[in-house]
Amino acid sequence: MDREYRYTISNLAELDDRLLNQTVQLFVEGFFKQAADLMKVDLETCADAFKHSFRKEHYYVALQDGNVLGLLAVSSAKERSHAFNKSILQQEFGFWKGRLVHHFLKKELEKPINLNHEQCYIESVTTSEKARGQGVATALIQYLFEHLEYKEFLLEVVDTNVRAFRLYERLGFTVFKRKKAGFFDKKGGFNERWYMRQVRG
């Protein structure tokens, strides 16, 4: 564990089940609230369904006073940060909803990404509402720069997330590719995905 700013940054594999549960809860609050509303399921059900999928060694969390305030994941050329079991998703959501969720998550969080051994892909960056604007994401990303032996860090941000885009720019990331949003992406309220990178050393 290292102290960064006011936070302790830890790998999720080092933490107990209580902090794992907090991490999963923050993940679903950050990324699945709208989907949960559409599916008419609560976030607790989503957390129960997704907990099995976390490859804990790929996740880093920011802790303060024994609580998780922010998280991010790192995928590599070797593997992604999640591995979803369709049967577990169907058990939690029901047969058809479980199949649909598995299809979506496999596409978003399990699809192969074209990386070499010197690159990593930062994803699932989120901060709890009470800690936003307090340097949590900055501390997490700088921890990666200082502790992971990759030469190139990649990430993705949507065009409407101006706050995140400006943060990544301040941290030295630059846009190298833009991709037009598809039909369902536009329903989510954005027009383009921007791909950014930071080259170290």
Residue-level pLDDT at 116: 95
Q: Which domain holds residue 146?
A: 2-150
Checking if the pLDDT of 4 tops 90, the result is no
Same structural domain, 103 and 16: yes
Domain match, 37 and 15 both: yes
Do 127 and 182 fall into the same domain? no
Domain shared by 130 and 169, yes or no: no
Where on the phi/psi map is residue 172: left (φ > 0), alpha (ψ -120 to 50), or beta? left
Over residues 22-67, the pLDDT tens digits come to 999 999 999 888 778 878 889 999 999 999 999 999 999 999 999 9
Is the pLDDT at 189 greater than 80? The verdict is no
Q: Phi and psi at residue 151, in whole multiples of 5°?
A: -90, -20
What is the distance between the alpha carbons of residues 10 and 141, in angstroms, rounded to a whole number? 12
Give the model's pLDDT for residue 2.
45
194 vs 1, which has greater pLDDT? 194
Domains of the chain: total: 2
Both tokens of 68, joined, read 């998780």
* One domain for residues 159 and 96: no
The reply to whether 143 and 163 lie within a common domain is no
143 and 54 housed in the same domain: yes
Contact criterion met (CB below 8 Å) for 20 and 54? yes
Three-class DSSP category at 178: strand
How far apart (Å, rounded) are the C-alpha atoms in residues 17 and 102? 24
Quick one: 145 and 160 in the same domain?
no
The answer to whether residues 140 and 170 belong to one domain is no
CATH value at residue 93: 3.40.630
